[in-house]
Amino acid sequence: MFRGLWLAASLAGFVSCADLVGADFDHAKARASSVDTSAPDGDARDAITPDGAADLGIVADGADEPLPLQGVHSTQTAAQFGAAVAIDARGLAIAAPLEDVQPPAGDPLADGNPLVSQGGAVYYYDLGAPSAQPQRVVAFNVAPFDGLIPPDIHPIGFNPGFPRGSVSLALGDATLVVGVGAEGTSAEGQPWDRTAPFAGAAYAYDRAALGSAPQFIKSPTPHPTDLFGLAVAISGPWLAIGAPGEDQVATDSGAVYVYQWLEGKYVVQQRLQPSIAHQGDSFGYSVAVDGDLLVAGAWGESSGGTGVNPDARDTSVRGDGAAYVFRLVAGTWTQEAYLKPGVPLGGSVFGSSVAVSKGTVAAGAPGGPGCPDDKPNFGYSGTAYLFAKQDGGWIAGPCVRPRVPGYQIWGYSVSLFDDLFVVGAPWEGNATRTEPTNPSIPTDTSLFAGTAHLYVRDATGAWRDSAYVKAPEVNANDVFGYSVAVTPSLIAIGAPYTAGGPHAQDASTYAGAVYLFPPADPTRAAASIAYH
């Protein structure tokens, strides 16, 4: 059913595709509960003691107090902590989809199965009480491998030996919603029936009482491999849930379900699909919602058009990808725009990540070959695009991509908040914290270390390159930038393949970590949260 499209790497030199102002990244001098005094001046880092230093707060120079977020301590070495993140002004949610978990009390699966392999967990941090221990959330009907999506059904997976987590996160005013695309029950009223593998589900928790039973949400018509819950998004009363493997129109054409908060629970309101859908579109692989705008990505969509509202009928460019904008009008979500990358190419997987804020839409194309004004054959480093509504219609805005060659899957993750735009590139291989600018100099000396990039919209409406962001400690295989989320006060960046404890450079011990940076000065880490 839902099967992957594996991208081929092609590395070649290229120049910047947008007239953006660059900024170098210098790691902050930091102060933690214990500090590695052997680190060079200006490069202090956390020293994780063997028993696990609890306080991982970092104080940037000039700050009065640390953000003392607690790390997650475990003997497990492969949880992928940070594979998904969600953040708002009140809290931070982090998924550890491959964590082995104890089923909650009262769960029938707990009998005779004291530890569920790769069932997955979510950690919630109250930013109003940062020194408190995080609250751990485990699904009440957790089953083995609920947190795992096999590589063959992931369009832009890493090496087949690196599993991809199935857990997605969204924070609403009153709820934390956890999507689990690998969940295998066949009906909403049968939470322990496992006869529909990869049908998927979502769990809506009361943020004020995370220990209470969640609302268990299934697709109105669940089927195996629908992957319902692989993407979730919340805005106000609206909850959007992607089901990219759904087959109602054609095999893996996909769907998005919109729920409305009514009388204390989410009630299904509408099923969305593109006006023209095809087999393999995987519509709903990514979703984002803000006010009356909803955006859904379809990485497998295969038309050869570019820009806004081209002809969607052909299927000549497999896996080029698309994104669809829906607007809420008189209580109904209606398709308003069909968005494509500026350079058509099979395997661009445009729309595998999407974001929307204040009328601006962003979409990543991590297999993209460059921006429209690039010379041909600049390589498959990845791209990201911005779109906005102007004079009654949607227009394509800037296309952004890396400055130097390298298979970075730039745009694997994107996040928008008003005038802030963050792009993750988890395969970027630069070993330093200074952005490389010379295409002739090799930068892949720390493969898959990863990076993220911050853009800021200025008073004229132009998006400006603000900062090149690297992990406080750069190591190969960490995939920093795998997940990103931004608010006006903090940027959260996940590095789910980071090794636990003192870094052993062992890619098999992908425990994971999340880093927080203030957008006003992302050269200074505000906190590091490690799973070790």
Q: For the residues of 21-51, what is the DSSP string, one character each?
A: ------PPP---SSB-TTSPTT---B---TT
Q: Nearest-CA neighbor of 409 among 378, 450, 446?
A: 450
pLDDT recorded at residue 153: 65
Per-residue pLDDT tens over the stretch 385-403: 999 998 889 999 999 999 8
- 494 pLDDT more than 70: yes
Task: Retrieve residue 39's tokens.
Answer: 């680190």
Average pLDDT over residues 345-362: 95
* Pairing relationship of beta strands 483-486 and 463-469 according to DSSP bridges: unpaired
The residue among 186 and 113 whose pLDDT is bigger is 186
- 377 pLDDT more than 60: no
Distance CA 385, CA 351 (A): 10
- 448 pLDDT more than 60: yes
pLDDT recorded at residue 395: 95
Distance CA 467, CA 460 (A): 19
Q: Which residues contact 437 (CB under 8 A, 6 or more apart)?
A: 22, 403, 404
- 528 pLDDT more than 80: yes
Residue 92 β-bridge partners: 87, 125
pLDDT recorded at residue 457: 96
pLDDT recorded at residue 26: 25
pLDDT recorded at residue 154: 56
Query: Which residue in this structure is represented by tokens 């298979």?
Result: 407
Per-residue pLDDT tens over the stretch 185-229: 998 777 678 889 999 999 999 999 999 999 999 999 999 999 999
pLDDT band with cut points at 50, 70 and 90 for residue 311: very high
Percent of the chain having pLDDT more than 90?
Answer: 62
pLDDT recorded at residue 454: 97
Domains of the chain: 84-530 (2.130.10.130)
pLDDT band with cut points at 50, 70 and 90 for residue 61: very low
Per-residue pLDDT tens over the stretch 147-176: 988 766 655 544 444 567 899 999 999 999
pLDDT recorded at residue 155: 52
pLDDT recorded at residue 39: 27
- Per-residue DSSP letter, 102: P
Task: Retrieve residue 37's tokens.
Answer: 């005094």
pLDDT recorded at residue 9: 29
Q: Alpha helix (H) ranges present in 125-265?
A: none
pLDDT mean across residues, the chain: 82
Q: Which residues contact 194 (CB under 8 A, 6 or more apart)?
A: 143, 184, 185
Annotate 415-426 with three-state secondary structure: EEECCEEEEEEC
Per-residue pLDDT tens over the stretch 233-283: 999 999 999 999 999 999 999 999 999 999 999 999 999 999 999 999 999
Helix (H, G, I), strand (E, B) or coil at 515: strand
